[in-house]
């Protein structure tokens, strides 16, 4: 994609005093029970949008640390130690900072439709044919590059990511949120196979929203030995939604659909499921809860 003028970064000065749920994506009853009772307490974390190139670089630095350093992804960005690509210039970057240190400890990249038109495409189009989504593209925000520093992977940080997304969607006025949920293949594909078995039986989108992977990922015989039951049919310590990766689990609890079979991303060694969420399908109590964690300032 040819380089285009960098659009201005849009500030998002909302902060939060998060609740501290004990799991990454709480159920509605748990989320309500864990709402903070003392809003005057000093916050541990703050969520906002990047307002400077240094903010963006902090997000790119964290992404490189997690994706390349921890997960072994092959990144080809122009600057060592940063995960960057052509889409970064067109995106807003959601940041969660630790208040005490000021460090960016979580990030999520957001591409609103007006910027996607300038960029010429969505990131997901490198992995999927998304032609069936044409009727909703002008109302769709694409998300991606989600990561959390390993020392801060607790419910408070995850709740703030959802809070930031909810506030961003409310401010933008758009209804649809979509992007890839990545499942690591470092275990040989077992988790990806089990996750696909689970979501396709209950959480598949209506056919009008199906996407087609350019590079289909499929379980191998080694991944699914003869006679082995899928996750949904096995008795394990964690089954169903509880056994899914946290980000995917969170989207499904909010009412999202999975739009078809997974794509294979060999550079990141993941299977990617394309997830689509309509705010109109989300329980308004969830939205109110997350918005309360990221109040306007």
List the domain range (segments joined by +) for residue 196.
28-293
Cα distances from 250 to residues 23, 52, 146, 292, in angstroms, run 11, 29, 13, 18
In the beta sheet, which residues pair with residue 179?
A: 143, 275
Over residues 158-190, the pLDDT tens digits come to: 999 999 999 999 999 999 999 999 999 999 999
How far apart CA 124 and CA 212 sit, in angstroms, is 11
Q: What is the pLDDT, as a whole number, of residue 7?
A: 44
268 lies in some domain: yes
Domain of 218, CATH number, reads 3.40.630.30
What is the domain count for the chain?
1
Over residues 36-49, the pLDDT tens digits come to: 445 566 789 999 99
- DSSP one-letter code for 186: T
Over residues 252-285, the pLDDT tens digits come to: 999 999 999 999 999 999 999 999 999 999 999 9
Mean per-residue pLDDT, 148-156 = 94
How far apart CA 105 and CA 115 sit, in angstroms, is 26
18 lies in some domain: no
In the beta sheet, which residues pair with residue 274?
A: 180
**CB neighbours of 106 closer than 8 A, spacing ≥ 6?**
62, 95, 96, 147, 148, 149, 152, 157, 160, 161
Mean per-residue pLDDT, 98-111 = 98
122 lies in some domain: yes
10 lies in some domain: no
242 lies in some domain: yes
20 lies in some domain: no
pLDDT band at 1 (very low <50, low <70, confident <90, very high): very low
């Amino acid at each position: 994609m040819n380089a285009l003028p960098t659009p201005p970064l849009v500030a998002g000065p909302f902060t939060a005093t998060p609740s501290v749920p004990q799991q990454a994506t709480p159920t509605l009853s748990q989320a309500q029970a864990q709402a903070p009772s003392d809003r005057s307490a000093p916050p541990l974390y703050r969520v906002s949008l990047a307002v400077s190139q240094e903010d963006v670089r902090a997000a790119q630095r964290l992404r490189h640390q997690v994706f390349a350093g921890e997960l072994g992804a092959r990144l080809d960005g122009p600057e060592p130690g940063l995960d960057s690509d052509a889409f970064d210039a067109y995106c807003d970057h959601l940041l969660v900072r630790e208040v005490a240190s000021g460090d960016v400890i979580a990030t999520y990249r957001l591409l609103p439709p007006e910027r996607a038109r300038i960029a010429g495409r969505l990131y997901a189009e490198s992995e999927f044919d998304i032609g069936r989504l044409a009727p909703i593209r002008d109302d769709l925000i694409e998300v991606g590059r989600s990561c959390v520093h390993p020392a801060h992977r607790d419910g408070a940080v995850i709740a703030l990511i959802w809070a930031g997304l909810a506030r961003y969607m409310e401010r933008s006025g758009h209804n649809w949120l979509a992007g890839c949920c990545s499942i690591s293949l470092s275990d040989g594909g077992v988790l990806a196979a089990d996750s696909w078995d689970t979501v396709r039986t209950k959480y598949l989108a209506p056919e009008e929203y199906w996407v087609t992977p350019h590079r289909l990922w499929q379980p191998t015989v080694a991944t699914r030995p003869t006679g082995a039951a899928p996750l949904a049919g096995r008795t394990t310590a964690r089954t169903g939604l509880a056994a899914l990766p946290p980000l995917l689990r969170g989207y499904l609890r909010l009412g999202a659909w999975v739009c078809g079979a997974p794509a294979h991303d060999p550079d990141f060694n993941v299977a990617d499921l394309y997830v689509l969420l309509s705010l109109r399908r989300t329980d308004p109590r969830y939205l109110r809860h997350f918005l309360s964690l990221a109040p306007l300032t």
